[in-house]
Amino acid sequence: MEGKTTRISPADIDRQREFCDKIQEAWAARPSQPLAYVDTYGCQQNEADSERIRGYLTAMGCGFTDDEKAADVIVINTCAIREHAEDRVFGNVGALVHAKRAHPGQIICLCGCMAQEPRVAEKLRQSYRHVDLVFGPHALWKFPELLYRVVSRRGRVFETTDEAGSIAEGIPLSRQDGVKAWVSIMYGCNNFCTYCIVPYVRGRERSRLPEDVLAEIRALVEEGYKDITLLGQNVNSYGKDLGLDMDFADLLEKIEAIPGDFLIRFMTSHPKDASQKLFEVMGKSRKIAPVFHLPVQAGNDRVLKAMNRVYTREEYLDKVRRLREQVPDIVLTSDIIVGFPGETTPEFEDTLSLIEEVRFDALFTFIFSPREGTPAASMEDPMPMEEKKANFQRLVDAQNAISAEKHAAYIGRRLRCLVDGVGEEMGYPLVARTPGNRLVRLENGEECLVGSFREVEITGANTWSLTGRLV
Ligand code: SAH
Ligand code: SF4
Ligand code: F3S
């Protein structure tokens, strides 16, 4: 879908708050506070969207529960990235029939990326009749209005129109954490990697205005947030649509200038837009965390081309070299797809050699999953699943060895870590994060330290995490 970004006016959001009030009135006669259950799948974008949904639900007077049977409103915020994600959602939504039978007044809503797929919306319409409200990411800003239509008994509501996308400021937010916060800086994606559904369900790239982003971050820092992650499918192309003289690196510098002791992270970056200017800004920075998630997807040029990634292996390696020149201590992570249609085992081995060459700190690895409507879904895909799985296992084994070695090298180091929660394992009362976002289980410390930066000596390591002591 082509077209221009719609900016939702403050008056439109005020109207949504009025719908929140109307719903609250409609529910006022209930014997107890209405309860909502919000279940989130997928990436941080969806986590951030669920904070908006919870913000609206709070404005409607709802409390929250983790028990779907006790809930008056269920909201399932879905992900469409791989078939497995969709299957889980369909399984869980199907099972909600029983919760609803026990609680006939219950309202079940399904939103997020799956809702924006015509095939899914149709399936929900026909076969999941206990779902009352279906709306895609484009309609999230008017959730109260849609829910009010259901509450005032006008039947099932489907709001899944495709559009280029909008930007809405001022939606109430209910954040899940007091230390870490997500801040969306842009929405959508223009890259159309041939395997990926995101551009179809999230619309075109559009950036929030810098003053809105900066005001939100200033407020978060004043509230005591210490770890702020800027979100977008491709944050490196921030600002290109705004026609202002401001790119992502400039935005980071402006955020850095906000007074306060806090860390800035961002995700995700497309290698094609990761610029030397950005690396230099990171090199000079005291607040940008030394961590970079730079999805490579594959190590073979033919496969990269078929994926429409528009960089070569050599160009990727060159970016990594230049990034490490500016930020020698950088923690590097990446995403890889194994078994892209037509990928041969020798081509896959180029991915193996790339990860040996780069030595990422961690990888997110996926087996290709065909997504209807994307070009890759109709490409020849002759490799048997068995062989894909064997290649996948080789990749995971190789990376685990690298991660374990990299973690072992932390032992004995002292690092300024952010204590970000209480531990769930015996003998480790707290958990913390290194500047590069590695998980550290702390052997000592009191709960009151959560939310503070502390010197930690690293005492142990495994493939996934570190252990340490407060000094
Ligand atoms: N915008 C981000 C990625 C979003 S999706 C970026 O470009 O880096 C997260 C990861 O899911 C992708 O990096 C890719 O590795 C994986 N992925 C996306 N579509 C997929 C598919 N159809 N099958 C398997 N993995 C996929
Ligand atoms: Fe998907 Fe590619 Fe866009 Fe990432 S950059 S969201 S992988 S299309
Ligand atoms: Fe999934 Fe949508 Fe994120 S498809 S990965 S929730 S953008």
Question: Is-contact 201 153, C-beta < 8 A?
Answer: no
Q: Which residues, 6+ apart, have CB-to-CB distance to 387 below 8 Å?
A: 345
Which residue type occupies 51?
E
- pLDDT for res 1: 55
Question: Is-contact 297 307, C-beta < 8 A?
Answer: yes
Q: Which residues, 6+ apart, have CB-to-CB distance to 360 below 8 Å?
A: 332, 333, 334, 399, 402, 403
Asked which of 125-129, 156-160, 176-180, 350-354 is least confident by mean pLDDT, the reply is 176-180
**Which tokens belong to 374?**
């994307």
Please, what is the average pLDDT of the chain? 96
**Which tokens belong to 264?**
């800035």
Q: Which residues, 6+ apart, have CB-to-CB distance to 127 below 8 Å?
A: none
- Collect contacts of 247-252 with beta carbons under 8 A, ≥24 apart: 247/275, 247/277, 248/273, 248/278, 249/275, 249/277, 249/278, 249/280, 249/281, 251/185, 251/210, 251/213, 252/278, 252/281, 252/282, 252/285, 252/288
Which residue type occupies 325?
E
Nearest CA to ligand 1 atom 5: 81
What sign does the dihedral 169-170-176-181 (CA atoms) show? positive
Q: What are phi and psi of 470, to 5 degrees?
A: -70, 135
Q: How far apart are CA 169 and CA 175, in angstroms?
A: 16
pLDDT digits (tens, 9 = 90+) for 191-240: 999 999 999 999 999 999 999 999 999 999 999 999 999 999 999 999 99
**Short-list 195, 219, 192, CA closest to 203:** 192
Ligand 3 centroid, distance to 130 Cα (angstroms): 24
Cis, peptide link before residue 345, omega less than 30° from 0: no
Ligand 2 pocket check for 144: Cβ under 6 Å: no
135: helix, coil or strand? strand
- pLDDT for res 5: 85
Residues framing ligand 3 (Cβ under 6 A): 42-43, 45-46, 79-81, 112-113, 197-198, 201-202
12: helix, coil or strand? helix
Nearest CA to ligand 1 atom 13: 335
pLDDT digits (tens, 9 = 90+) for 240-263: 999 899 999 999 999 999 999 999
320: helix, coil or strand? helix
Question: Is-contact 79 46, C-beta < 8 A?
Answer: yes
- pLDDT for res 2: 59
Ligand 1 centroid, distance to 82 Cα (angstroms): 9
- Give percent of the chain with pLDDT exceeding 90: 93
| Best residue among 81, 270, 293 to mutate for probing ligand 2, ranked by most atoms within 8 Å of CB | 270
Ligand 2 pocket check for 201: Cβ under 6 Å: no
Q: Which helix (H) or strand (E) holds 172?
A: none
**Short-list 247, 341, 350, CA closest to 298:** 350
Nearest CA to ligand 2 atom 5: 191
**Short-list 421, 429, 428, 425, CA closest to 451:** 421
| Best residue among 366, 378, 395 to mutate for probing ligand 1, ranked by most atoms within 8 Å of CB | 366
| Best residue among 196, 204, 365, 388 to mutate for probing ligand 1, ranked by most atoms within 8 Å of CB | 196
Ligand 3 centroid, distance to 446 Cα (angstroms): 36
Give the confidence band of 155 by pLDDT, cuts at 50, 70, 90: confident
Segment 348-371 shows an average pLDDT of: 98
Q: How far apart are CA 442 and CA 377, in angstroms?
A: 46
pTM: 0.95
- pLDDT for res 176: 85
pLDDT digits (tens, 9 = 90+) for 45-90: 999 999 999 999 999 999 999 999 999 999 999 999 999 999 999 9
Residue bearing the bigger pLDDT, 29 or 316? 316
Burial class (CB in 10 A: 0-12, 13-18, 19+), 155: exposed
Atom of ligand 1 nearest to the CA of 191: 7
The dihedral region occupied by 31, where left means phi > 0, alpha psi between -120 and 50, and beta the remainder, is: alpha
Atom of ligand 1 nearest to the CA of 335: 15
Cα 445 to Cα 139, 180, 209, 289, 385: the distances in Å are 45, 20, 41, 24, 48
Ligand 1 pocket check for 388: Cβ under 6 Å: no
Give the confidence band of 104 by pLDDT, cuts at 50, 70, 90: confident
Q: How far apart are CA 96 and CA 265, in angstroms?
A: 37
- Is residue 369 predicted with pLDDT exceeding 90? yes
Ligand 1 centroid, distance to 345 Cα (angstroms): 21
Ligand 1 pocket check for 270: Cβ under 6 Å: yes
Ligand 2 pocket check for 199: Cβ under 6 Å: yes
DSSP tally for the chain: helices H, then strands E: 13, 21
Atom of ligand 1 nearest to the CA of 297: 15
Look at the block and give the residue holding tokens 């809930």. Answer: 71
Segment 121-125 shows an average pLDDT of: 96
Q: What is the DSSP letter of 427?
A: T
Ligand 1 pocket check for 366: Cβ under 6 Å: yes
Q: How far apart are CA 290 and CA 330, in angstroms?
A: 5
- pLDDT for res 174: 95
Question: Is-contact 441 425, C-beta < 8 A?
Answer: yes
Segment 125-129 shows an average pLDDT of: 95
Q: How far apart are CA 313 and CA 304, in angstroms?
A: 8
Q: What are phi and psi of 251, to 5 degrees?
A: -60, -45
CA atoms within 13 A on the CB side of 255: 34
Q: DSSP letters along 373-423, please?
A: TSGGGGS---S-HHHHHHHHHHHHHHHHHHHHHHHHTTTT-EEEEEEEEEE
